[in-house]
């Protein structure tokens, strides 16, 4: 890794208290983000690099704050989905690290999943996760936007080959694959003795990106939301778990 002693020392001093708190409190006490909360994006100092782009196991993640969001069944937008949704289900949790360099934004997510589902076939579906950004403000519907003038940009990962799609939508059923595909990702499925198995996925994109439907990160606050699909639960399309409302990504934090 191309890391100088000076930058490594600065990064360690900056991050050591965060790591200590995370170790002391444990996962269940990681800060819970709720709708309309603002969350800072950690700045990775110049000269510090991940071992590879989107590396889900890089030591950097242990040095950064972690947050969690509650994931609940998405409100049904079609009758066929309504038949499958259990609105009484207990929430699950998606754990997040949010980081940027001077050139790139990273979103790292991990969640419990006892089965690794990587194929789509008859009555079989892949695991997946998505990050959604409002192209405007938090008045846009977090349920995939609400029209061409209130659209969203979606980064969508599906298991199997670490495929990440850069999408746009202006409401349920309007999802479109964009011509520009600047988003990349990498995943890791971990089977853990005595602990639940889990997926870890990192997706990232250059801060600057062309295209009318690519989210702009050149603003102080960016509305962000999440979705998870559990293949073993036959979740797909609108049958999924989502975060409740927008969380505001603070891009101006240092």
Q: What range defines the domain where residue 96 resides?
A: 5-250
Element containing residue 25 per DSSP (H, E) = helix 5-25
* Domains identified in the chain, total number: 1
Per-residue pLDDT of the chain (254 residues; tens, 9 = 90+): 444 434 444 444 344 333 323 333 346 679 999 999 999 999 999 889 899 999 999 999 999 999 999 999 988 766 666 667 677 788 999 999 999 999 999 999 999 999 999 998 888 899 999 999 999 999 999 999 988 888 999 999 999 989 899 999 998 889 999 999 999 999 999 998 889 999 999 999 999 988 889 999 999 999 999 999 999 988 888 889 999 999 999 998 76
Buried/exposed code over 157-175 (b: 16+ C-beta within 10 A; e: otherwise) = bbbeebebbbbbbbbbebb
Looking at residue 85, its pLDDT comes to: 67
9, burial (CB in 10 Å: exposed 0-12, middle 13-18, buried 19+): exposed
Q: Which pair of structure tokens corresponds to residue 217?
A: 């990160």
Looking at residue 81, its pLDDT comes to: 63
The angle at the Cα of 132, spanning 214 to 241, to the nearest 5 degrees, equals 160
Q: Write down the residue that tokens 């975060």 correspond to.
A: 243
Looking at residue 149, its pLDDT comes to: 83
| CATH code for the domain in which residue 239 is found | 2.60.40.1190
Looking at residue 28, its pLDDT comes to: 62
Element containing residue 70 per DSSP (H, E) = strand 67-73
Element containing residue 242 per DSSP (H, E) = strand 241-242
Looking at residue 126, its pLDDT comes to: 95
Looking at residue 10, its pLDDT comes to: 45
């Amino acid at each position: 890794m191309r890391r100088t002693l000076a930058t490594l020392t600065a990064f360690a001093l900056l991050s050591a208290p965060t790591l200590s708190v995370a170790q002391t409190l444990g996962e269940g006490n990681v800060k819970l983000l709720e709708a309309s909360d603002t969350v800072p994006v950690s700045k990775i100092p110049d000269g510090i690099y991940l071992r590879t782009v989107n590396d889900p196991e890089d030591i950097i993640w242990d040095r950064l704050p972690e947050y969690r969001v509650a994931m609940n069944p998405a409100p049904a937008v079609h009758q066929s989905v309504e038949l499958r949704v259990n609105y009484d289900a207990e929430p699950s949790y998606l754990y997040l690290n949010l980081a940027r360099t001077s050139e790139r934004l990273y979103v790292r997510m991990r969640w419990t999943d006892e089965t690794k589902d990587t194929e789509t076939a008859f009555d079989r579906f892949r695991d997946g996760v998505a990050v959604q950004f409002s192209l405007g403000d938090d008045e846009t519907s977090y349920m995939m936007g609400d029209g061409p003038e209130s659209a969203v940009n979606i980064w969508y990962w599906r298991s199997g080959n670490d495929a990440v799609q850069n999408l746009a939508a202006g409401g349920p059923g309007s999802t479109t694959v964009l011509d520009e595909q600047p988003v990349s990702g990498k995943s890791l499925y971990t089977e853990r003795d005595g602990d639940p198995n889990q997926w870890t996925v990192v997706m990232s994109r250059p801060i600057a990106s062309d295209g009318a439907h690519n989210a702009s990160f050149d603003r102080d606050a960016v509305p962000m939301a999440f979705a998870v699909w559990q293949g073993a639960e036959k979740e797909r399309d609108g049958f999924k778990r989502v975060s409740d409302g927008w969380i505001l990504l603070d891009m101006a934090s240092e």
